[in-house]
């Protein structure tokens, strides 16, 4: 039955790639994604270590080494740089890898939740509802860390469901281990699957309170025990201390990004509007064929509440960004899909059934899916060599790299020290660090044609730059 749905899966894959690949294949990336790429590339090339990764030789955030996040994702992405080299497509291949794994896990979770039902065959439906969320396809176009953390979150929930339905303690331990990996990827937000036993008890009523408490304890104690073991080692203890005390607590206390604790709740609603709207339209079209079965409704509630469990805790601090809730989006998609899965499964089955509608319908759908996939690939390929953002800056960095030796330090105007995209591109492509301590390095970068008294002892290097000028000491 799964193979019969291949045209729909190909359409879903085409939509997913169509929303990500045309941007991902171009040069240019959001600052955070480029920052993580630089750290991972440095780690792969022997600059820094797993517990003490490095962004720049001049440190980051007041620390010599990079501790904005736990080190797991840097270590994983560094493996890709080890295997594939330092070319600009390495991080993009890594993003596609996380995208593919996430899609497979969404389908696996969907099939497991709809076992022995015809709806199990339409795993492409939650995939489409998931990628329709704007911040979702944006995140997978920019190498955000939440992409990888989301994989571990999905695995934690999937193994919890397996542990509960199959009465397997090993699966429960596995779920706890994946919660640890989620927290080791992006910190405290990775703990939210610990709430899943309570949500399962609340919605499905298939476990008693005693089992709820036991399961919650196991899911919480596994990562705690692993961290306790890690803290016995000096490097791990110092690294995790730097992350939690010097970075997390510092950011929460001094660097708010929003004015209201409720910002994140409004943001998730806005981001989900395309998926909710699509679900509402399908629901209206098939309203006479939809039967509100209690089992399906409570299962949908379980997944939607699981998604909310990944969003609501973010409101506890004033450090909030839309992409922080990326790991929760698959659960919203699955929950919404459950409301319309019955008529969609029947409709899809009829479209692919030569007896019900005719042989030409399946053939036409197959041809359409292949053409759509081909069009997405061709359009994406046409963007090779283009820049999705920061075009002038990337051009200038390329020109600077022809003159400035690799691993050099350059001076810069004071107001440009916090120009993180510039720092990232210089490090990513040429291993050039901006030196905030020395205004008189051999090379100095200033805004193009801007008056700057610090270049009195420098001579301008004539380059076809667009945003910056390069000066060399006389």
pLDDT digits (tens, 9 = 90+) for 361-385: 788 899 999 999 999 999 999 999 9
Lookup: tokens for 79: 């493996």
pLDDT confidence of residue 294: 86
pLDDT at 414: 81
76: Cβ contacts below 8 Å, ≥ 6 apart: 148
Q: How confident is the model at residue 9 (pLDDT cuts 50, 70, 90)?
A: very high
Are 181 and 228 in contact by the 8 Å Cβ rule? The answer is no
pLDDT in tens, 254-295: 678 888 999 999 999 999 999 999 999 999 999 888 877 888
Distance of alpha carbon 368 from alpha carbon 17, whole angstroms: 16
pLDDT tens figures, 143-155: 999 999 999 999 9
Distance, in Å, from the CA atom of 62 to the CA atom of 31, rounded to the nearest integer, reads 18
Task: Give CA–CA dist 136/19, Å, rounded.
Answer: 10
Average pLDDT over residues 25-54: 97
Spatial neighbors of 176 by CB under 8 A, at least 6 apart, are: 156, 218, 219, 220, 221, 222, 223
Hey, where are the domains in the chain? 3-379, 391-473
- Over residues 451-468, the mean pLDDT reads 88
Contact 411, 441 (CB under 8 A): yes
- Quote the CA–CA distance of 163 and 128 in Å, as a whole number: 28
Under DSSP, the state recorded for 188 is G
In the structure, what pLDDT confidence band is assigned to residue 359 with cuts at 50, 70 and 90? low
Q: Tell whether the torsion through CA atoms of 56, 58, 61 and 67 is positive or negative.
A: positive
Summarised one tens digit per residue, pLDDT across range 98-143 is: 999 999 999 999 999 998 899 999 999 999 999 999 999 999 999 9
CA dist 156 and 192 (Å) reads 10
Residue 2 confidence (pLDDT) above 60: no
Cβ–Cβ under 8 Å, residues 370 and 10: yes
At residue 27, the 3 state secondary structure works out as: strand
Whether 192 shows a pLDDT value over 50: the answer reads yes
DSSP 148: H
**Tokens standing for residue 200:** 């399962």
According to the model, what pLDDT value does residue 441 have?
93
With residues binned 3-state (H G I as helix, E B as strand, rest as coil), the percentages for the chain, rounded to 5, are 70, 5, 25
Please say if the pLDDT value at position 398 is more than 80: yes
Residue 1 has pLDDT above 50, yes or no: no
Query: If you average pLDDT over every residue of the chain, what do you get?
Result: 94
When pLDDT is cut at 50, 70 and 90, the band that residue 158 belongs to is very high
This prediction's pTM: 0.95
Strands 468-473 and 458-461 turn out to be antiparallel
pLDDT of 354 reads 65
pLDDT in tens, 53-90: 999 999 998 899 999 999 999 999 999 999 999 999 99
For residues 52 and 71, give the distance between their C-alpha atoms in angstroms, rounded to a whole number.
8
Per-residue model confidence (pLDDT) at position 3: 61
Q: Which of 17-21, 332-336, 459-463 has the lowest mean pLDDT?
A: 459-463
Contact 325, 268 (CB under 8 A): yes
Nearest to 443 by CA among 410, 398, 413: 410
Cβ-Cβ contacts under 8 Å for 251 (sequence gap 6 or more): 319
Cross-strand pairs, 433: 409
What is the rounded CA–CA span in Å between residue 428 and residue 387? 15
CB 67 within 8 A of CB 236: no
């Amino acid at each position: 039955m799964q193979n019969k749905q291949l045209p729909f899966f190909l359409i879903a894959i085409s939509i997913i790639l169509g929303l990500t690949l045309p941007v991902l294949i171009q040069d240019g990336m959001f600052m955070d994604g480029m920052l993580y790429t630089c750290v991972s590339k440095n780690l792969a090339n022997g600059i820094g270590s797993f517990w003490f990764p490095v962004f720049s030789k001049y440190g980051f955030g007041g620390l010599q080494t990079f501790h904005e996040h736990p080190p797991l994702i840097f270590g994983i992405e560094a493996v890709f740089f080890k295997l594939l080299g330092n070319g600009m497509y390495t991080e993009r291949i890594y993003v596609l890898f996380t995208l593919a794994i996430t899609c497979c896990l969404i389908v696996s979770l969907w099939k497991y939740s709809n076992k022995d039902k015809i709806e199990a065959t339409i795993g492409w439906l939650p995939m489409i509802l998931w990628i329709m969320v704007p911040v979702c396809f944006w995140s997978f176009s920019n190498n955000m860390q939440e992409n990888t953390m989301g994989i571990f979150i999905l695995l934690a929930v999937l193994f919890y469901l397996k542990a509960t339905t199959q009465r397997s303690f090993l699966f429960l331990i596995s779920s706890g281990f994946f919660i640890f990996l989620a927290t080791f990827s992006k910190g405290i937000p990775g703990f939210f699957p610990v709430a899943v036993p309570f949500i399962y008890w609340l919605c499905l009523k298939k476990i008693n309170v005693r089992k709820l408490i036991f399961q919650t304890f196991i899911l919480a104690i596994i990562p705690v025990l692993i961290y306790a073991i890690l803290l016995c080692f000096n490097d791990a203890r110092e690294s995790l201390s730097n992350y939690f005390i010097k970075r997390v607590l510092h950011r929460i206390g001094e660097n708010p990004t929003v004015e209201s604790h409720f910002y994140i709740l409004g943001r998730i609603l806005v981001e989900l509007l395309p998926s909710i709207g699509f679900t509402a339209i399908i629901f209206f079209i098939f309203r006479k064929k939809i039967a509100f079965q209690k089992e399906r409704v409570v299962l949908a509630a379980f997944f939607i509440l699981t998604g909310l469990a990944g969003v609501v805790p973010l409101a506890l601090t004033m450090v909030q960004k839309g992409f922080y809730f990326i790991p929760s989006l698959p659960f919203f998609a699955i929950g919404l899909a459950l409301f319309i899965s019955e008529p969609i499964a029947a409709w899809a089955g009829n479209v692919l059934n030569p007896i019900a509608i005719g042989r030409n319908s399946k053939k036409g759908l197959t041809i359409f899916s292949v053409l759509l996939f081909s069009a997405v690939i061709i359009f994406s390929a046409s963007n090779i060599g283009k820049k999705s953002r920061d075009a002038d800056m990337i051009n200038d960095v390329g020109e600077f790299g022809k003159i400035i030796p690799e691993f050099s330090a350059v001076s810069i105007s004071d107001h440009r020290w916090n120009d993180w995209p510039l720092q990232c591109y210089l490090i990513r492509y040429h291993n050039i660090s901006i030196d905030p301590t020395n205004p008189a390095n051999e090379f100095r970068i200033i805004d193009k044609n801007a008056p700057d008294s610090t270049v009195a002892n420098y001579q301008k290097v004539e380059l076809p730059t667009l945003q910056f000028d390069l000066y060399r000491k006389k």
